[in-house]
Structure 1
Amino acid sequence: MAVSKQMAVGVVVAACLGLLVGGIIGHLGTKGVTKEEEAMVSTMQRLTGGDWDENDEINKRIVDLVDADNIRKEHKELTAKPHLAGTDRDDYLAEMIQKRFKAAGFDTSDLVPYDVLLSFPDPSNPNLITLEDAAGTVIFTSKYKEVPLEKDDADPDFIHAFNAYAPAGDVQTDIGTGLVYVNYGREEDFEKLAELGVSVTGAILIARYGKIFRGNKLLHAQQRGAKGLIIFSDPMDVALNGTAPEDVYPNSWWLPGSGMQRGTTFMGDGDPLTPGWPSTEHAYRLKEEEADLPTIPCQPIGYDDAKVILEKMGGRVAPEGWRGGLKNVAYNLGPELIGDYKLRLVTHNYIKRQRSFNVISTVKGSVEPDRYVLIGNHRDAWGYGASDPSSGTAQLIETARVVGVLLGQGWRPRRTLVFCSWGAEEYGLIGSTEWVEEHLTKLQQRAVVYINADTCTRGTMFELKGSPLTWQAITRLTKLMPAVKQEGSLYREWMEYHEYWNRTEPKISTLGSGSDYAPFAFYAGIPSLMMTFTTDKRKYDVFFPYYHTGYETFYMLDKIVDPGFRITQGCSRIVGLALRYFADSHLLPFHLPQLPLTMKESLEGVKKDYHETLLSIYPKFSLLEEAVDDLTDAAQLFDATLKERVKDMDPVTLRAVNDQVMKIEQLFLLPAGLPGRPESRHAVFAPSQFNNYAAAGFPGLLDLLYKIDTLQGQERADREEAIKKHISQLTILMHAAAKFLKDLHLI
């Protein structure tokens, strides 16, 4: 049987330290033993015992202890009522989760409050879109809540449809003109409209959800002089089997015509009033008008209402790829309205400072209590939040219960476990960002890894995204646990999925934004990962259709998406194994060579589109390529010699070697952040500027190269200087990382 490098290292370390302990005990046996000497022996025994590979029985117990019925019970309670951030129900759930962690026997469990700026619709004055005829008669009014289709769908506290942080406003078109269809609202969509001679300045725009973050859609509209934006979910994206009642919820996971996707439009992370600083009691706060919030109204609607509006639009027919799935709708671009109609968009949103809680709970490590393995999931939802986030929250509670059982049976992790239930994630990762900002120095010194488990269950196929350092470790764990749909291992199930595309191994990617790993990964440089079960793209290449709508219910998950809760059970199992792997391994199970290899692949992607441009702007670009190669060589040498070096390692040296790997991504942080983006400091892996959801390699470089061929004069010269500066920074960072991997005594 093959022995992994981590296993071999653990055995060698244990053997060497065992000899040391044996020598101490033998020496002490020749004379009286003091309490101080007993403590020394106890410490050495803890340093040598219980490596992750040496007690496989604990891993089997983790898998066996995770109970699908427990998860279902917790999920039903979590989704019983809407729990928007800052509401009484959200506070109730925070206290409930704290009680669960305490009941599990955790050493600490605290409610951590932050006073943050949130956004709400007026519950007595809903946001509406209307159509009026030439006589001023209202012939159409949009819905502001979903039509209840199951007995538990209609809760009086369910939030009206709105887009958070979009302001209150009252805008309207002229009679017969002033409405433009902009497809998905991407940069390329606006460029196509300009090419076709369709102006959006002064118009109300209508876009379909998908492809990019909704905040980018609103920003693009605002930048081009539009006065309002309507966003709808198109059947082509959310109802591919048809829109008849038998084809949508409650009979399937596809979205009915009144489903409306709520969500934030804020382009930053954290409290909008305290960028870069925690929103604690004494924090300095910006004025609201300084917070860079959206300035034009925006409102989501369902596709039933969108059909009524689009049917009234004239102008030229949209390009082929712009036409969605609404039957008998031409998808005209506008701005003309067929007939003497006028469209009006009225929103009554308001912003308010509100308290929101994180729940932070710890299990103290037995050997390295100052090294943290963190797991987190947000708690707040736009409604019932069955998938997002409650499938992850139910998993978090069950994983905590399993840890508690193991603690009761005598196990205690080598390193400290930190369980985090984040508040106000949906508004812009607020709870996690404020906490990371408050504890940044401590986390950068002590955090081993952050595991995010937001939205455990939105489909059936396992998906891993994260720091390349973590890919090998999680892949190994998938071989140790059952599949969620069939016999065999999760790895076999995962691999069969990717064999469909003729891949020889599962595809794993780096992180975009959109969940609470962002402040850890992109701001603090802490290795982070996210595990989820997502849509089977062999059938439908779509996001989960009921996302952020009133149909994201317990019924949806229990009856349609995850009957029996086997998928969510699988999520808890893989998370529990990952926690123990990173918490109990003597040598941290990071695979260092994968990091520069992924960087090389990303840099090749940049070169594919911009190599000649880069060389013409900065002939020293080749030095960056050489620096990445040097880092690759240094990482491979570090990894290849580790087995030999560890034979002579004392515990202090082993700990220092672990620190070299767990802190290496901090070497890629730019103190001032990426160009124009201070909240994203990771220069190699961070979200795209033009789609906050998407991952990007060397994102600052891609941002600076975007549309560079359209620039002229001083604007072009300034951009080229910025590119030279950024390439220089990247080259220096690569060299610093390579030096960081040298022998510990070398600077």
Structure 2
Amino acid sequence: MRVSLVITIAGSVTVMLTIVVVTLVVTLSPNTGGDKDYREYLLNSIDPNSINKFLRELTSKPHPAGSVRDRDLAVSIQARWEGFGLENVKLMEYDVLLSSPGVPNKFSTLDSGGNVLFESSNTQPPVDDPPPYGQDEILSFNAFSANGIVISDKVVYANYGSEEDFQLLATYNISVSDSIVVIRYGQIFRGDKVRFAEARGANGVILYSDPADVAPEGPSFTYPNSVYAPPGATQLGSLRLQGDLLTPGYPAIESAFRIPMEKADLPKIPVQPVGYHDASVLLRRVKGQVGSQQLTFKEDSTRRGGRPQGHRGAWTLVFCNWAAEEPGIIGSTEFAEQFSVSLKDRAVVYLNVDTLIGGNYSFMAMGVPMLHDIIMDMAQLVANPDKEEVKVGRPTLYDTWLARYPDDSPGGSRPLVLPFGSGSDYRAFMFSLGIPSMDMCFTVAPGEKGLPLYHTAYETYKLNTQLMDQGLLFHQASARMWGLLALEFSTRNFLPFGVVPYVDFISTAWKDFLTTYKKILTNLDVKTEYLKKSVTTLQAAGADFMSRLNDEENPEHVFLAPSVTNGYEWETFPGLRDLLREENPDRRAVQEQIAILTHHFLMAANALTFDLWQ
């Protein structure tokens, strides 16, 4: 019997809604008691019981971006911060493009007569008794999936949907053109998976969480009995990570010019996420046979105005509570675009916390090399929340971090610090404005899959407080780290930037880049000696700067940018890499990129010297 596949993704409604960003500015009072007093006060005054109270309030109901509940929480946070005595607390409103499911989405398998054999679930079945409030209202969808109906008679499995996976299919003469592509979550950003499939002519994509990744102990050892994903767990999430799609490069305020919807950087094919139970039914029934798929979307657009407000300040701390991170890093991007000139001129560092606890194996940081030193210094001041680690002689965050995640690179004798890409709110600050940025979290052991319940309906208060962090000691440690770092950047006479580690990183990255692309560059007859000299000059200037300083502007990010093959990570020398990946690189374009890099490295070197001319 021939089996057909019908996938109905009905009614992804794109709506212009007001996104609220809560910001505050607080100016530190004169440091009359000294650094030690501030540090001790900060370390001793963070109360897990207070964290628990706030966490319970914030997670009591679903609050998707643009919803009434989302705004209510923003207003509540504003009032709470004002109650703490903080000044200039403001709500920043932006009119942005959002995406939400209009009606439930699903796929169906049909027999040759058109009769339904199986229908997927459009929600995630309850597993708690009673289930959390509003969990049954969370519909399965991927933000910004295309609208419309798509029917195909071919289904192709593409593993993680990376460039390498699609290239492997091509080597076996398997085309995804005019097909529905089934891809498992993991390894790279979901939007890149869809982009690669769309570029190869796919009609639609089904994304699913593979049990090998999210339920390695089997379906019986899953939430609520463990942190692993039950069969119906479905990872939701956006297919774009660049802020408001109708005002690219500009804030989505009332006066903004908006491009037409058809010109926005939106996926052109429908996409639907499912759990591994439904995916297993699909894969068992299809088994490479011909099938058909139908994906349906409706479209409805409305707008309402916002009232953006700015701020002024000299040496200040600015705390931000971003809205609409998951639909595409929207709140933070619009803020960064609106105040880009002030931020470039005045902001010295951006400290981000997104997924605070993906596991409780070790502390982990992501960030640019010039922040590595200060992160490690502060980690040595924070008490270890892991009591078993304290018993074996590792009393601080740093101790466990070093023991469990050492940097294995040549000469490495410190903990590992990971790179990052465009997966969180640091994206605009780091890669658009060039502000040194970092993110921190607690994570799983090497080789383990982090946070199996990521972006599912089971990311609950219970998961955090009973299964991952009883007593909320890991939350407390994270708050201490965050506070210490903010304190250091706000009170030191000289900003704690690691100039030498950064220029050494650039030098090492250049050597690695040449190892990969030297043959192509030679074949193109492209000159690189001036770029090589600029890297050497930058390295020497960095060392000289630190030696004269005794006891600060990094290059704009022509050097670092989110990877085009995985938006969750960065690449060094991104412009050059993009050109040299092409089948027939353009020699003049390559030479131009080399000249641009050379110019920026020399400017950075000049900024590090104490002479006007060099």
Q: 1:638 to 1:129 in 2, by over 3 A?
A: same
Partner of 1:463: 364
Asked if structure 2 preserves the Cα contact closer than 8 Å seen for 1:131 and 1:140, the reply is yes
Deviations 1:283-329 (A, max 9, x none): 10001001021111100000000101101233xxxxxxxxxxxxxxx
Cα drift, residue 361 of structure 1: 10
**Bigger CA radius of gyration:** 1
Q: Tell me, yes or no, if structure 1 residue 726 matches structure 2 residue 601.
A: no
Amino acid at match of 2:344: Q
Q: How has the CA–CA distance of structure 1 residues 618 and 532 changed in structure 2, closer, same or farther, with 3 Å as cutoff? A: farther
For 1:214-613, list aligned pairs within 5 A: 214-244=190-220, 247-266=221-240, 268-314=241-287, 334=288, 336-337=289-290, 342-348=291-297, 350=299, 352=301, 369-370=313-314, 415-460=315-360, 461-486=362-387, 487=390, 488-499=395-406, 504-537=413-446, 540-613=447-520
Aligned partner of 2:73 in structure 1 is 93
CA apart distance, 1:360: 8.8
Counterpart Cα distance in 1 of 2:226 and 2:123: 20
- For 1:96-154, what per-residue CA distance to the aligned partner results, in whole angstroms no more than 9, with x for missing partners? 111121111111100010000001101xx311100000121101001111110112336
SS in 2 for 1:272: coil
Contact 2:180 2:203 in 1 (8 A): yes
Aligned to 1:698: 573
Contact 2:544 2:609 in 1 (8 A): no
Which residue identity lines up with residue 530 of structure 1 in the other structure? D
| Correspondent of 1:161 among 110, 119, 140 | 140
d(CA) in 1 for partners of 2:574, 2:472: 38
Structure-2 change in CA distance of 1:243 and 1:156 (3 Å)? closer
Distance 1:500 1:627, change over 3 A: closer
How far did residue 622 of structure 1 move? 2.6
d(CA) in 2 for partners of 1:546, 1:741: 46
Query: Please, which of 614, 623, 629 is the counterpart of residue 536 of structure 2?
Result: 629
The answer for the alignment partner of 1:126 in structure 2 is: 104
Which of residues 126, 135, 156 in structure 1 aligns to 2:113?
A: 135
Whether the aligned pair in 2 keeps the contact of 1:131 and 1:139 (CA below 8 Å) is: yes
Q: In 1, distance between residues paired with 2:120 and 2:505?
A: 47
Q: Conserved in 1, the CA contact under 8 Å of 2:347 and 2:435?
A: yes
The residue correspondences of 1:22-101 to structure 2 (distance < 5 A) are: 50=31, 54-101=34-81
Q: How many residues were matched structurally?
A: 578
CA distance, structure 2, for counterparts of residue 47 and residue 108 of structure 1: 13
Deviation of 1:619 after TM superposition, in Å, equals 4.1
Q: Which has the higher helix share?
A: 1
Report what 1:213 is aligned to.
Answer: 189
Distance 1:221 1:129 in 2: 19
Q: Distance in 2 between matches of 1:356 and 1:542?
A: 42
- In structure 1, what residue type is equivalent to 2:594? I
Conserved 8 A contact 2:254-2:306: no
For residues 629-673 of structure 1, the C-alpha deviation after alignment (integer angstroms, 9 at most, x for no partner) is 1101001100001128xxxxxxxxxxxxxxxx1xx23x42xxxxx
Q: 1:357 to 1:86 in 2, by over 3 A?
A: farther
Distance of aligned partners of 1:47 and 1:188 in 2 relative to their CA distance in 1, 3 Å threshold: closer
Letter of the structure 2 residue corresponding to residue 211 of structure 1: Q
| AA of the residue aligned to 1:455 | T
1:183 aligns with 2:58: no
Aligned partner of 1:65: which letter? Answer: S
Q: Alignment partner of 1:169: what SS?
A: coil
Note the alpha carbon deviations across 1:473-520, whole angstroms, 9 max, x for none: 111011111011032111112111125969621011332111111111
Contact 1:470 1:591 (C-alpha < 8 Å) held by counterparts: yes
Judge conservation of contact 1:86–1:355 (CA < 8 Å) in 2.
Answer: no
1:147-201 CA deviation, whole Å, 9 max, x = no partner?
1011233616732100111122322333xxx111111111111111111011211
Report the Cα distance in structure 2 between the residues aligned to 1:589 and 1:521, rounded to whole angstroms.
17
Instruction: Report the equivalent of 1:671.
Output: none
Change (3 A) 1:499 1:420: closer
CA–CA distance in structure 2, aligned partners of residues 459 and 445 of structure 1: 37
Q: Name 2:22's counterpart in structure 1.
A: none
Q: Report the residue type matching 1:692 in the other structure.
A: G
Please list the CA deviations of residues 364-423 of structure 1 after superposition, one character each: whole Å capped at 9, or x if unmatched: 9xxxx41xxxxxxxxxxxxxxxxxxxxxxxxxxxxxxxxxxxxxxxxxxxx311011111
CA deviations on 1:558-594 (whole Å, 9 max, x unpaired) are 1111111111111100001111111011111111111
Q: Distance in 2 between matches of 1:145 and 1:48?
A: 50
Q: CA deviation at 1:224?
A: 1.0
Q: Could you tell me how far apart the structure 1 residues matched to 2:310 and 2:47 are?
A: 22
8 Å contact kept, 2:243–2:334:
yes
Q: What is the TM-score normalised by the length of structure 1? A: 0.74
Structure-to-structure mapping, 1:618-657, within 5 angstroms: 618-643=525-550
CA–CA separation in structure 1 for the residues paired with 2:512 and 2:561: 15
| Residue of 720, 723, 738 corresponding to 2:605 | 738
Partner of 2:19: none
Q: Post-superposition shift, 1:615?
A: 3.0
- Judge conservation of contact 2:526–2:587 (CA < 8 Å) in 1: no
Query: How much does 1:67 deviate?
Result: 0.6
CA contact (8 A) 2:406 2:416 kept: no
Q: Is the 8 A contact 1:206 1:231 kept in 2?
A: yes
Structure 2: gaps of 5 or more residues: 1-26
> Structure 1: 5+ residue runs without aligned partners?
1-45, 315-333, 371-414, 645-660, 669-681
- Larger deviation: 477-486 or 504-513? 504-513
2:562 partner amino acid: P
Secondary structure of the corresponding residue to residue 693 of structure 1: coil
The 1:148/1:356 distance shift into structure 2, 3 A limit, reads: farther
Task: Indicate conservation of the 8 Å contact 2:526/2:591, yes or no.
Answer: no
How has the CA–CA distance of structure 1 residues 354 and 550 changed in structure 2, closer, same or farther, with 3 Å as cutoff? farther
Change (3 A) 1:181 1:426: same
User: Which residue, out of 128, 146, 163, partners 2:124?
Assistant: 146
Alpha-carbon distance in structure 2 between the residues aligned to 1:172 and 1:48: 64
Identical aligned pairs, as a percentage?
36
Distance 1:136 1:242, change over 3 A: same
- In 2, the alpha carbon distance for the partners of 1:162 and 1:519 equals 25
C-alpha separation in 2, matches of 1:683 and 1:587:
26
Contact residue 120 and residue 351 of structure 1 kept, 8 A: no
Aligned counterparts of 1:357 and 1:535: Cα–Cα separation in 2 = 41
Structure 2 distance, partners of 1:208, 1:729, is 39
Q: Using a 3 Å threshold, how does the CA distance of structure 1 residues 581 and 699 change in structure 2: closer, same or farther?
A: same
- When residues 47 and 424 of structure 1 are mapped into structure 2, their CA distance, relative to the original with a 3 A threshold, is closer
In 2: Cα distance, 1:354 partner to 1:68 partner? 41
Secondary structure of the 1:692 match is coil
